[in-house]
Amino acid sequence: MLNAWGTPGRIPRLVLISVLCLFASLLLAASVSAQEGPDTGVTDDEVNEVASDLYCPICENTPLDVCPTQACSDWRAEIRSLLEDGRSEAQVKEYFVERYGVRVLGEPPRTGFTSIVWILPLVGLAVGVVVFGRSVMQMRRAASGSARPEASRQPVRETPRDPDAAYVARLEQELKDFSL
């Protein structure tokens, strides 16, 4: 069958070509039927992907992918048709914001009035740092007039003879302190 160069002769070539054609046509048929199949276009998962980030304008704090009402069902259908039109997730969100306001978004926009809600945690952090600093400074100052003898409360030894005994002794001391 093989000629001098190792390439197949005529009949095997015909066979090969027909096999390839059959294969190609099968492929084509498969892709065509995939397009005609029931799950053409947008899958439920893709709708959910967008719907989980959008909130129902009527119900409270309910994302569109879990909301059970008829209205939400309509909105999910709207998402689906928008996605089928080829719009991106961001465009779908924009469309919803245009019609129903920013409340459909899962988090407030970072610009404009709602930037407050993003800045406030930072303010809280800053205030926290300041308060920490001031408290530490204040606590460093001897707060009461007379210095109370601390020795009886905490036998803390940095280099104990027997570290375990000291540790146990400390636990016992703390136990005593916690009781009457």
Partner 1 sequence: MTAILGAILVFLSFLCAVYAALASMWGVRNDRPEFVESARNAAILTLPLLSGASLLLIGLLVSGAFQVEYVWSVSSLSMPDYLKVTALWGGQAGSLLFWAWLMSVFSAASMLRNWERERALMPYVVSATMGTLAFFIALVVFWENPFARLWILPNGEVVTAIFGPSAILSSLTTGYVNFAARVPGVLGSLLHDVTPLAAPLGAVPARLLDGQGLNPLLRHLGMVIHPPMLYLGFVGFVVPYAFAMAALATGQVSDSWIRATRRWTLVGWLFLSLGLILGGRWAYDVLGWGGYWAWDPVENAALMPWLAGTAFLHSVMIQEKRGMLRRWNMVLIILTYLQVIWGTFLTRSGLISSVHSFAQSAIGPLFLLFLGAAVIISVRMLMRRWDELRSDNHLDALLSREAAFLLNNLLFLIIDFEVFIGTHFTIFSELLTGEKVTVGPQWYNFVTKPFFLALVLLMGIAPLVAWKRSSIERLGRSLILPAVLTLVFVGVMFAFGFLTTGSALALTVIGLTLGTTLLEFHRGAAARTRSRGESYPVALWTLFGRNRRRYGGYVIHLGVVVMAIGVVGSNAFQQETQQTVAAGQTITIGDYIMRYDELERFPAVDDRTVTRAYVTVFKNGREVGQLRPRHDFYASGQPATIPGNLSQFDEDFYVLLVAWEEISLSSATFKIYVNPLINWVWAGGLIFIVGTFIAAWPDFSEERQRAAQVAALPAAQRA
Partner 2 sequence: MSEQARPAVSSDTALAEENMPAGGIAWARIVIWGTVFLLLAIVGWHLLQANRAQPTEGRAPDFSMTTFDGEEVHLADLRGQVVVLNFWASWCVPCIEEAPELEATWQAYKDQDVMFLGIDYLDAEAKGLAFLAEHGITYPNGPDLRQKISDDYYITGVPETFVIDPEGNITFHAALPINRGTLSREIEKARNAGS
Q: Kindly state whether residue 161 participates in binding partner 1, applying the rule CB under 8 A.
A: no
Which residues have CB under 8 Å from 57's CB, separation 6+?
Answer: 100, 101, 103, 104
| Residue 61 Ramachandran class (φ > 0 left, ψ -120 to 50 alpha, else beta) | left
Choose among partner 2, partner 1, none what residue 85 binds, the Cβ cut-off being 5 to 8 Å by kind.
none
Q: Kindly state whether residue 14 participates in binding partner 2, applying the rule CB under 8 A.
A: no
CA atoms within 13 A on the CB side of 6: 0
Q: Kindly state whether residue 65 participates in binding partner 2, applying the rule CB under 8 A.
A: no
Q: Which of residues 1-20 bind partner 1 (CB under 8 A)?
A: none
Q: Kindly state whether residue 151 participates in binding partner 1, applying the rule CB under 8 A.
A: no
What is the C-alpha end-to-end distance of the chain, expressed in Å? 104
Exactly one of 25, 106, 115, 155 binds partner 1 (CB under 8 A); which one?
106
In single-letter form, the type of residue at position 3 comes to: N
| Dist. CA 61–CA 75, nearest whole Å | 15
| Dist. CA 143–CA 72, nearest whole Å | 62
Exactly one of 111, 144, 152, 159 binds partner 1 (CB under 8 A); which one?
144
Q: Kindly state whether residue 71 participates in binding partner 1, applying the rule CB under 8 A.
A: no
Which chain residues interact with partner 1 by CB under 8 A? 43-45, 48, 53, 55, 60-61, 63, 66, 68, 73, 76, 101-108, 113-114, 116-117, 120-121, 124-125, 128, 131-132, 135-136, 139-144, 148, 150, 153-154, 156, 158, 162-165, 167-168, 171, 174-175, 177-180
